[in-house]
Structures are given as structure tokens and as C-alpha cells.
């Protein structure tokens, strides 16, 4: 563990000096971690590749702003990947759409049925959601943000965030029932 | 952050288990290409240690630069040499203007028979002390000149009433090769009215 941290510190020093080999080393070290996050905000592998390339260019360009005292490198990189993923979702058509916040429901999701599903099946349901619903569901259900934080990140109201989450849960439950039958 | 529900924990664990696409090298190529534009390295070869004979090394760049420099130096000396051979001797690039007096002395004296006038396209009416105004036409001018009809009122020459006009062709400033029979000059062709106009 200590050896890995030493390696990362060496890579960081190289990245600060704009050494390509160090940048490549840091990218390859965090590839799996970052790609897992990028895939959540993507519809396919090409979307994920776009998010990854843009995010890592930003990481290397702003590596001097990373402060180890404020948080871990993992958290810093995760934040940049999520921001890039949200920008990617926002660039898709029909991100902003009129919602009826008066009729927000909270449908239950059958967890037992969910556990029987494969990772790719769940991801296929999520990526077919409308862009804003997709973003809200990932931020809320996977990243663990509350509605106030989600609304701030997406520039929407808390009511709208709740509506999108409700829609996502409804869709997920419908798909689970469909698979069950 | 907040406490997650059960189904959210399940979704999170499932998404973390997603198989990763095999795009690691392809994505790095894109990142590297963008970094070469946005954050070029000092050595210009992406921070790699250059190896002799390696195609990624910068030896060919240095070679091209040296070749261009050599061509520029050779061209400069060749041009300078040809200038010295063709042009007058000049010391340390100083430009010496030609001596005007010496050029004027080299020029042959003007022929007294040839009337020299400054080059211009319009006819000139002169009325020195002679009685007859003379229209001089520049022979070098490509414009064909037709003298306007002259009346008494149109000429404002004092002391020399307009009697008649003697057009004289200007032979130009350069001396022409003499033609015809020797002893006959251009002044012999000057047409002068034998009689004065009675009016």
C-alpha cells in the first residue's frame, strides 16, 4: 500500500513537470476507476471514451490545483469525471424538459428482482432514460447526493430533481416486472 | 451525502462490476494528441528519452534545420558574389550615389540644330522674340495632336500677333542618327510663311 502511494506521488511529481510518461502512468493507474464512473453517464463505450479523454486532459492541465490536504487524489479525479459526465449528458438533446412536479410519486423498487439482474442489464435500463432523468438517477442513487446537491449540480429545482428520480424508479420497476413475467 | 436505500446499494454495486471496455490505449492516444497541442513538452518528443536511430527521436528535425541553414548561407554568399561581379565596387555594403557631374560630362553636347524640349504630351506654344509662335509636338508622345483652330481671340500673346503657325516636330532628347544627304539639317525643313498675313 505504501509502495503504491509512493508510486502515485512520483507520478504526480512527473505530471506537475509535464512529463508524458508520468501522465501516461497516472492515466493507466486510474483507468479502471475512472472508466467505471464514466460508463454511468454514457450510452455506449464511445461516449465513455469521450468523457475519459476530455476529463484526463483537464486533470493534467489543472494538476497544479490539486491539494492533497483537501482530499484524496481519487476524490479529485472522481469529481472531474462526474463533471465531465454531466456536461456530456447536458449536451444531449432534450435535457431540459417541462415536468409536472405536482404529481411526484415514490414507487418502490423490488430489490430482490434487481439483485438477480446482471450489471449490463441494469445499465441498459439506465441509459435508455431521458438525459435529465439519467443524470438525476445516477447522482442521487449511485453517487449518493441529496436533492439539493443534485439540483445545484444540474441547475434545476429540487422538485424537478425529485420528479426525475420518481420517473427513473418507475421505469426501473416496470422493467423489473417485465423481466419477471 | 445521505444514507442510501437498499436498491440504491444494489444498483451501485452492480454498476461498479460493469466490464471495462478495452479502450485504454485508444483513449490514451487521444489524450496524448490533445496534450501535445495544449501542453507541449520542452523537448518536443513527449518526454521520452530519445534513442539513436529511433524514428521518434528529433535527429531528423535537427538535420532538416541544419540543411536549411546551410542552403541559406550558400545562397547568401552566391548572391553577394554575383552582385560584386556585376555591380560597381562597393566597400562594406555602403551605397555610393553616382556622380551626376561626371555623367553629364560623358553625355555628348546637344546638337544646336535639335530643339530640345521637356517631354510632355501637350503641345507648347512658344513666342520668344520671334514673331511667329511655334507649336512643338513631342514626337515620343503616342497621342496624335491636332492643333485647335486658332483665331485672334484664342491667342493671348502680347507683342506677337498670331499670324501663322509653324509646327515643328521635336526630335526628342536623344540624338538621332543622321540620315540623308549631309549638309541638310532639320532647320532646313522649317516651314516659314513667306508673307505676313495682311490682316
Q: Which residues contact A59 (CB under 8 A, 6 or more apart)?
A: A26, A77, A80
Judged by a CB distance cut-off of 8 A, whether residue A40 touches chain B is yes
Contacts of A115 in chain B (CB under 8 A): 10
> How many angstroms separate the CA of residue B8 from the nearest CA in chain A?
5
Judged by a CB distance cut-off of 8 A, whether residue A119 touches chain B is yes
Distance CA B15, CA B12 (A): 5
pLDDT at residue B116 above 60?
A: no
Judged by a CB distance cut-off of 8 A, whether residue A113 touches chain B is no
Which of the two residues, A140 and A111, has the higher pLDDT score? A140
Predicted confidence band at A181 (pLDDT cuts at 50, 70, 90)?
A: confident
> How many angstroms separate the CA of residue B21 from the nearest CA in chain A?
7
Contacts of A146 in chain B (CB under 8 A): 1-2
Dihedral sign for Cα B13, A4, A77, A131, please: negative
Beta bridge partners of B136: B124, B168
Query: Each residue of A119-170: pLDDT tens digit?
Result: 999 999 999 999 999 999 999 999 999 999 999 999 999 999 999 999 999 9
Report ipTM for this prediction: 0.86
Interchain pair A18, B18: CB under 8 A: no
Q: Name the closest residue on chain A to residue B32, using Cα atoms.
A: A20
pLDDT at residue B126 above 60?
A: no
Residue B142 has a pLDDT of 45
DSSP A1: -
Q: Which residues contact B174 (CB under 8 A, 6 or more apart)?
A: none
Judged by a CB distance cut-off of 8 A, whether residue B50 touches chain A is no
| A49 → closest Cβ in B17, B23, B35 | B23
Query: Each residue of B176-190: pLDDT tens digit?
Result: 666 666 777 777 777
Interface size A-B, in CB pairs within 8 Å, comes to 111
Judged by a CB distance cut-off of 8 A, whether residue A146 touches chain B is yes
Interchain pair A48, B23: CB under 8 A: yes
Distance CA A80, CA A144 (A): 16
Query: Each residue of B144-166: pLDDT tens digit?
Result: 445 555 555 555 545 555 555 55
Which of the two residues, A150 and A179, has the higher pLDDT score? A150
> How many angstroms separate the CA of residue A114 from the nearest CA in chain B?
7
Contacts of B14 in chain A (CB under 8 A): 114, 117-119, 122-123
Q: Quick one: A60 exposed, middle or buried, by C-beta within 10 A (0-12, 13-18, 19+)?
A: buried
Interchain pair B10, A142: CB under 8 A: no
Residue B86 has a pLDDT of 66
Predicted confidence band at A102 (pLDDT cuts at 50, 70, 90)?
A: low
Residue B82 has a pLDDT of 77
pLDDT at residue B172 above 80?
A: no
Q: Name the closest residue on chain A to residue B21, using Cα atoms.
A: A45
Interchain pair A36, B39: CB under 8 A: no
Predicted confidence band at B69 (pLDDT cuts at 50, 70, 90)?
A: confident
> How many angstroms separate the CA of residue A53 from the nearest CA in chain B?
5
Predicted confidence band at A105 (pLDDT cuts at 50, 70, 90)?
A: confident
Predicted confidence band at B141 (pLDDT cuts at 50, 70, 90)?
A: very low
Distance CA A106, CA A125 (A): 18
Interchain pair B15, A39: CB under 8 A: yes
Query: Each residue of B31-46: pLDDT tens digit?
Result: 999 999 998 887 655 4
Judged by a CB distance cut-off of 8 A, whether residue B29 touches chain A is no
Residue B3 has a pLDDT of 84
Amino acid at each position: 500500500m505504501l509502495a503504491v502511494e509512493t508510486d502515485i506521488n512520483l507520478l504526480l511529481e512527473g505530471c506537475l513537470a509535464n512529463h508524458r510518461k508520468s501522465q501516461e502512468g497516472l492515466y493507466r493507474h486510474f483507468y479502471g476507476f475512472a472508466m467505471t464512473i464514466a460508463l454511468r453517464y454514457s450510452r455506449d463505450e464511445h461516449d465513455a471514451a469521450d468523457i475519459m479523454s476530455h476529463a484526463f486532459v483537464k486533470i493534467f492541465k489543472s494538476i497544479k490545483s490539486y491539494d492533497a490536504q483537501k482530499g484524496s487524489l481519487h476524490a479529485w479525479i472522481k469529481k472531474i469525471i462526474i463533471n465531465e459526465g454531466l456536461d456530456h449528458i447536458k449536451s444531449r438533446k432534450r435535457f431540459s424538459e417541462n415536468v409536472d412536479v405536482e404529481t411526484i410519486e415514490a414507487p418502490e423498487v423490488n430489490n430482490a428482482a434487481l439483485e438477480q439482474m446482471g450489471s449490463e442489464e441494469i445499465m441498459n435500463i439506465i441509459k435508455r432514460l431521458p438525459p435529465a432523468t439519467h443524470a438525476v438517477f445516477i447522482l442521487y442513487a449511485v453517487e449518493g447526493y441529496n436533492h439539493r446537491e443534485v439540483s445545484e449540480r444540474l441547475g434545476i429545482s429540487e422538485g424537478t430533481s425529485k420528479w426525475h428520480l420518481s420517473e427513473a424508479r418507475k421505469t426501473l420497476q416496470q422493467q423489473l416486472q417485465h423481466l419477471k413475467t | 451525502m445521505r444514507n442510501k436505500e437498499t436498491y440504491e446499494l444494489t444498483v451501485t454495486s452492480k454498476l461498479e462490476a460493469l466490464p471495462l471496455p478495452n479502450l485504454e490505449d485508444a483513449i490514451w492516444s487521444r489524450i496524448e494528441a490533445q496534450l501535445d497541442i495544449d501542453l507541449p513538452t520542452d523537448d518536443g518528443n513527449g518526454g521520452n528519452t530519445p534513442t539513436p536511430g529511433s524514428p521518434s527521436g528529433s535527429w531528423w528535425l535537427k538535420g532538416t534545420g541544419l540543411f536549411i541553414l546551410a542552403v541559406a548561407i550558400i545562397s547568401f554568399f552566391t548572391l553577394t558574389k554575383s552582385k560584386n561581379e556585376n555591380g560597381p565596387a562597393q566597400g562594406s555594403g555602403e551605397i555610393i550615389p553616382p556622380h551626376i557631374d561626371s555623367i553629364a560630362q560623358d553625355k555628348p553636347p546637344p546638337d544646336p540644330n535639335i530643339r530640345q524640349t521637356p517631354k510632355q504630351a501637350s503641345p507648347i506654344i512658344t513666342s520668344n522674340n520671334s514673331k511667329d509662335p511655334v507649336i512643338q509636338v513631342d514626337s515620343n508622345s503616342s497621342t496624335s495632336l491636332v492643333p485647335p483652330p486658332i483665331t485672334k481671340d484664342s491667342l493671348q500673346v502680347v507683342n506677337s500677333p498670331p499670324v501663322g503657325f509653324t509646327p515643328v516636330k521635336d526630335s526628342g532628347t536623344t540624338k538621332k542618327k543622321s540620315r540623308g544627304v549631309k549638309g541638310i539639317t532639320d532647320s532646313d525643313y522649317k516651314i516659314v510663311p513667306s508673307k505676313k498675313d495682311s490682316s
